[in-house]
Amino acid sequence: MGTPLPRDPIADAQRNWERHGWGDVAAPMAAITAIMRTQQILLARIETVLKPFGLTFARYELLALLSFARSGALPMNKASALLQVHPTSVTNAVDRLEKAALVARSPHPTDGRTTLIELTAEGRTIAKKATAALNSEVFGKSGFGDDDVDHLIRVLGAFRRDAGDFTEE
Amino acid sequence: MGTPLPRDPIADAQRNWERHGWGDVAAPMAAITAIMRTQQILLARIETVLKPFGLTFARYELLALLSFARSGALPMNKASALLQVHPTSVTNAVDRLEKAALVARSPHPTDGRTTLIELTAEGRTIAKKATAALNSEVFGKSGFGDDDVDHLIRVLGAFRRDAGDFTEE
DNA sequence: GCAATATACTAGGACATCCAAGGGTTTGGA
DNA sequence: TCCAAACCCTTGGATGTCCTAGTATATTGC
């Protein structure tokens, strides 16, 4: 946080790994560490853009997901699966979004265990505005070249598939 | 969390973006979302490997950093800068590592504002063992091909530089 | 049909991250 | 010299993530 470092700390770490005889895994270590740090930077940008809307990334993701659902509503367990987060994280996000009147809980018509989450009118409006802001301020200014974007999607997609996120494609 | 999805949720999101007329930023959105999810998967793997050592990734990073320091000690603000996290996060990590007797705080010899963090003998031992475990269980099995690793390092390195992480190189 | 198993959500706890503020130490300009 | 500004660390608060249990509802199998 703060001023730029004179040198890339991850490149330094990679050199340290090599110097200690772990040259065979130094590069993957550096790549993985770079992914962790890049995520941190991107998350900070996203949170900055969402803050004026009273949203965090976790809450925005849920809103965006709901806004694309055919019926406009989803069971919590479905949201948990699609967002790939723990069910309790969804409960947490829904609690806060409900308090902000952006979503509403309703009982599932046939399964008493299930709770449906539904966008309110205001939730839909906020979702649309927040998406527009993210598109113009973050996704539209990622700094990645088109080729790099394609490469990232392909490589990370294969990684996620191998990790068990999904099966097809 | 749990069973694989039948389809890639990020690819679905990308299609939704395109369907709503945001085709110009759909690909970067997908790439960024993939980075977020990949980080989540990698972090989970890392935490699993570190758990037997009583470490989290944040604490491990600090131990590893100290183990490469010439003097074996670093000021907290230096650690904060190199790890690229908020100073309070370092305070938090040091508190817990100190409680586990893996590091020790000591006053800076000439600057009364600064606190030095130093590895204990046990801290050094644990750091070495944890590094070996991560090397064999995570970095050595990343699933990324050599070319992909090089590409990630290069592309994410440029991104981090542009984001202001560091200057040279 | 009823008990055993499985599923869905929530409550409580451990950790991590950041921000805002506060108290102590140094530095630097008037 | 001396006080304001800058710097360093810690505390307290808000969020998010996960895990472990616990409660309620469904489904399955005998």
- Whether B151 and chain A come into contact, CB under 8 Å, resolves to yes
- Separation in Å: D30 C1' and A107 CA: 32
Q: Count H helices, E strands: chain A?
A: 7, 3
Tell me, yes or no, if A139 comes closer than 8 A to chain B by beta carbon: yes
Can you state the angle between helices B146-162 and A146-162, rounded to 10 degrees? 130
Mean pLDDT of B37-66: 97
Chain B nearest-CA distance from A135, in A, is 6
Per-residue confidence in pLDDT tens, chain A, 169 aa: 778 899 999 999 999 999 999 999 999 999 999 999 999 999 999 999 999 999 999 999 999 999 999 888 999 999 999 999 999 999 999 999 999 999 999 999 999 999 999 999 999 999 999 999 999 999 999 999 999 999 999 999 999 999 999 997 6
Question: What does the DSSP assignment read for B112-127?
Answer: TT-EEEEE-HHHHHHH
pLDDT at B1 over 70: no
pLDDT number for residue B61: 98
The CA distance from A57 to A61, in Å, is 6
| Cβ <8 Å between A8 and B84 | no
Nearest residue for C18, CA–C1': B86
- Given CB atoms, is B58 within the 8 Å cutoff of chain A? no
Residues 6+ positions from B89 with CB-CB distance below 8 Å:
B58, B80, B83
- Using CA of residue B95, residue B99, residue B102, residue B106, what is the dihedral sign? positive
Phi, psi (deg, nearest 5) at residue B141:
-130, 40
Alpha carbon distance B55, B89 (integer Å): 15
- Look up the pTM and report it: 0.95
The CATH architecture to which A55-128 belongs is Orthogonal Bundle (1.10)
pLDDT at A55: 97
**CB A61 within 8 Å of CB A127:** no
Q: How far is B33 from chain A (nearest CA, A)?
A: 9
Partners of A151 on chain B (C-beta within 8 Å) are 151, 155
Residues B79-102 pLDDT 10s: 999 999 999 999 999 999 999 999
Point out which residues pair with B73 in neighbouring strands.
B118
Percentage of chain B modeled with pLDDT above 90: 93
Task: Tell me how far apart the alpha carbons of residues A13 and A139 are, in angstroms, rounded to a whole number.
Answer: 29
**B115-119 vs B103-107, strand pairing mode:** antiparallel
Question: Across the strands, what pairs with A25?
Answer: none
